[in-house]
Structure 1
Amino acid sequence: SISRVLSSYEDWHTILDVARDPQVQVFISNTTEVGIALVNEPITGNPPSSFPGKLLAFLYERFKKLGNAIENGTIIIPTELIVDNGKKLQSILNDLAVFNNLEDEFLTWLNTANTFCSSLVDRIVPGKPSAEIKNSIQHKFGYEDELMLMAEVYRLWAIQGDEKVRKVLAFAEADEGVVIEPDIDIYRELKLRMLNGTHTLSCGLAVLAGFETVKDAMSDSNMSEFIASLMLDEIASGIPYHLEPGTASAFGKKVVDRFRNPAIEHKWISITMQYTSKMKMRNVPVLSKYYEDHNTPPQSIALGFAAFVLFMKASKKEGGKFFGELNNKPYPIQDDQAGHLDELWQKHGSKGIVEAVLQDTLLWGTDLSKLPGFSVAVNDHLQALINKGGKQALDQFQQNKVLA
């Protein structure tokens, strides 16, 4: 149960008081991918601006008040969808500790007494249920719940850890969906690439084609076939991890079934949040591996990239927020790179935008325009989306695949 909720912006000193409590053993974070980032800042802020800054300040306060004994350490479990998120967070805390000139004794305690567990959460959680569903559930159970969320039945929380971690995280024994193992890479790769990667490569196209929810899209034969082919034919063969034959296909078929869950109202527009960083993290490694093995443009991925480029075209900016436009109606572009993509659109227009976006190493960490034929494929799909609209371009794409 939840005993209390503290806000770092309103209750920072109270949070630091909690650091002195030896009963506090576990930290779990869910800040999205952009939250696990190094911000060189003093941890004396009230509070520090970044999540790593807040966590380091908390741990340093604990170290100062309780001492450097091993038993005063904690188990830290980030759930952000980043490869080796535990190691990444630990590395950031070390860099930030050095930036703040914290003593060597603290650094030793940080890295020996505290356990940073990489983890992976796999469950589709669309958010709050509709008012109708919420009222029905509250009436059935006889109480109001302002924290009610909708989630699918399937769940997996894979945590990288040893027997020490297993002993502390006793809740794992109560749910078979919680897995604690020394190596969780296979769980991460399958989920990150096939579920999340498919979501990311499909969301822009789905919005442009007029689908509000994943359920709506899966009810359309062409969109459903696009998603299945994207996942099973292209992403599955580009996963940058050794898998036994049939593993990716079997996992992917389960994911397709999960997407078809009629009880889940998962809005595509919410999936577009931080579109660019998700595309880089989830799909660029798959694209690179696909080219290593096939050296030809994957057409479904190319269409997904084209939809991303068009979705990120802003039509207006209000209060520092960007909005695109579809059928004369605005939609939010909730992305830290929205301003940069807007500048590229303004500078290059529809004819040059694909080349400009793909060769932007600041976005992708590599020059995607160098992949043979990829720029041409993405540009062809972009022009089709612009000239025909999302739904007609999608239908034509699927028809061409059938005729090929």
Structure 2
Amino acid sequence: MKLSKELLTDSSTLQLPEKVLQFGTGVLLRGLCDYFIDKANKQGIFNGRIVVVKSTDSGGADAFAEQDNLYTICVRGIDKGVPTEENIISSAISRVLSAQSQWSAILETAQDPNISVVISNTTEVGLQYVEESIRQSPPASFPAKLTAWLYERFQNKQDGVVIIPTELIVGNGDILKDLVLKVSAFNNLPANFVEWLKTENSFCNSLVDRIVPGKPKGEALAELQNKLGYEDQLLLVAETYRLWAIQGNEKVKDVLSFAQADEGVKIANNIEQFRELKLRMLNGTHSLMCGMEYLSGFTTVKEALADDVTEKFITNLMMSEIAPAIPYKIDAKVAQRYGRDVLDRFRNPYLDHQWISITLQYTMKMQMRNIPLLLNYYKEFSTVPQYFTRGFAAYLLFMKAVKEENGKYFGEKEGELYPIQCDSAKYFYEVWQNHKPNEVVDAVLGNEQLWGSDLRKLKGFEENVTTHLSNMMAIGVREVAAALNVYA
């Protein structure tokens, strides 16, 4: 039996009006933002559903339509020391529209006076400027799509909306607003629209913090669905911990009434502390460790944390190098407490968070999350961060592509190929093909286009990364990490 509306004990939420336009169908949006909206709807607070925009056609029968746009959120984690399990059928989504084949229907939603919120998660790559006409069907880039939708709304004399990008970029709301203004200028849109854009719409910086590894596989999925009593193609697993910090004023709070349903939604005039803690200590640790742990033979995060060597390495990296290097003034006790929470989340026995999935867009994540930490660490301490350098060396080794096939690149671990899903994969393939390991380090660290500065100027950093990379290639990645722990 498939999941359908017949399985709902209360179907009243299915009659609620559409109040949210969401760009993206990813598990993070569905497991966090849509989770909060669904929870509020069931408490009779927000009373609005979500129209979801997906970027492409699925090419066949759509899972959302097949399941009446319902899906299951399986919450698993440790809450105040107690293991928790909760299965929720989310009815927050009203329909899913394809930008490729249903663009006119998406524009029609701009005419709906009930729509008051726009949410997006198009990954970090999505918030980039492209000079293009908004009159295409559809425009290619997300900023152009949003501009076209907002202009349609303006022409139909509708109120402005609260726009909340959740991409993991510093100042994501400010950046998106700037991109929309640039697209508007390129398209020669009228001055009164630009004024409406600036004064009647709220572009909110935001930060999302929840580990949502998505749909389990194999026996784990079969066991879950057997327990639920139905099949669900869209089922996802999410940890108990949840945070959606949104920068906004009282007007924004009034619109985002769903925040009242869960303490995990924080609306404040300043969210920098939330953002820095999450971006650096959770995401930054993930980014520095994913290549190292994958090449060390660990498949999942919890598996790595069960290993004494790895647990000590990650703890020391996070607490002694990342926390004190956060480029924002945060009380040391707050950072240490958050770090302990992160370690507990990493240990979550219910989640199979794959290291290989964390390597997606590896270089961009390193740029955004970790290089600012490295530069600030040197500014604060003028010495080499020993754990960081090993994480960076493992990143370079992971990016060593040995095969290219139809524009896709693959590395090799113990005779097996793995995908390098990174926009910089071609660059690293060519660097590794034409240079010795020490030359690779020199070329990559000196690439100011990648890092915004010449990392070779950081005293001792190049020498340390070169040594660790050489040792990793000679004796193994885990062995290099273990050797540091002996002397820590």
Fold shared by both chains (TM-score > 0.5): yes
Deviation, structure 1 residue 257: 1.1
Deviation, structure 1 residue 368: 0.9
Aligned position for 1:131: 218
**Structure 2 residue 161 is matched with structure 1 residue 74:** yes
**Structure 2 residue 208 is matched with structure 1 residue 208:** no
- Distance in 2 (alpha carbons) for counterparts of 1:223 and 1:357: 26
Choose from 429, 435, 442 the match for 1:348: 435
Aligned position for 2:277: 190
Aligned position for 1:107: 194
2:310 aligned partner, one-letter code: M
Deviation, structure 1 residue 169: 1.1
Gaps of 5+ in 1: none
**Structure 2 residue 475 is matched with structure 1 residue 388:** yes
**Structure 2 residue 105 is matched with structure 1 residue 18:** no
- Distance in 2 (alpha carbons) for counterparts of 1:103 and 1:40: 17
Choose from 59, 65, 75 the match for 2:150: 59
CA RMSD in angstroms, aligned pairs only? 1.2
Aligned position for 2:402: 315
- Distance in 2 (alpha carbons) for counterparts of 1:272 and 1:137: 27
Deviation, structure 1 residue 29: 0.4
8 Å Cα contact 1:209/1:394 also seen in 2: no
Deviation, structure 1 residue 147: 1.3
Aligned position for 2:317: 230
- Distance in 2 (alpha carbons) for counterparts of 1:384 and 1:398: 15
SS at the partner of 1:144? coil
Deviation, structure 1 residue 27: 0.6
- Report sequence identity in percent: 53
Runs of 4+ residues deviating >4 angstroms: none
Aligned position for 2:260: 173
Residues 382-402 of structure 1: CA distance to partner in whole angstroms, max 9, x if unpaired?
A: 001111122222222322x24
2:164 aligned partner, one-letter code: I
8 Å Cα contact 1:210/1:390 also seen in 2: no
- Distance in 1 (alpha carbons) for counterparts of 2:297 and 2:108: 50
1:150-165 correspondence runs (5 A): 150-165=237-252
- Distance in 2 (alpha carbons) for counterparts of 1:99 and 1:355: 40
Deviation, structure 1 residue 181: 0.9
8 Å Cα contact 1:29/1:79 also seen in 2: yes
SS at the partner of 1:231? helix
- Distance in 1 (alpha carbons) for counterparts of 2:332 and 2:206: 25
8 Å Cα contact 1:85/1:118 also seen in 2: yes
2:156 aligned partner, one-letter code: K
SS at the partner of 2:430? helix
- Distance in 2 (alpha carbons) for counterparts of 1:7 and 1:131: 29
- Distance in 1 (alpha carbons) for counterparts of 2:478 and 2:332: 35
Aligned position for 1:376: 463
8 Å Cα contact 1:39/1:50 also seen in 2: yes
- Distance in 2 (alpha carbons) for counterparts of 1:193 and 1:89: 22
**Structure 2 residue 392 is matched with structure 1 residue 301:** no
Aligned position for 1:335: 422
Deviation, structure 1 residue 166: 1.1
SS at the partner of 1:151? strand
1:20 aligned partner, one-letter code: Q
8 Å Cα contact 1:119/1:158 also seen in 2: yes
SS at the partner of 1:23? coil
Q: How many correspondences in the alignment?
A: 397
Aligned position for 1:261: 348
Residues 234-292 of structure 1: CA distance to partner in whole angstroms, max 9, x if unpaired?
A: 00110000112322111111111111111110000000000001001001111111001
Residues 44 and 349 (structure 1), Cα distance of their counterparts in 2 relative to 1, 3 Å cut = farther
Q: TM-score, normalised by structure 1?
A: 0.96
- Distance in 1 (alpha carbons) for counterparts of 2:345 and 2:484: 24
1:32 aligned partner, one-letter code: T
Question: Which structure has greater helix proportion?
Answer: 1
Aligned position for 2:182: 95
Residues 155-193 of structure 1: CA distance to partner in whole angstroms, max 9, x if unpaired?
A: 011111111111111111111111111111100000000
Deviation, structure 1 residue 138: 2.8
Aligned position for 1:116: 203
- Distance in 1 (alpha carbons) for counterparts of 2:332 and 2:414: 44
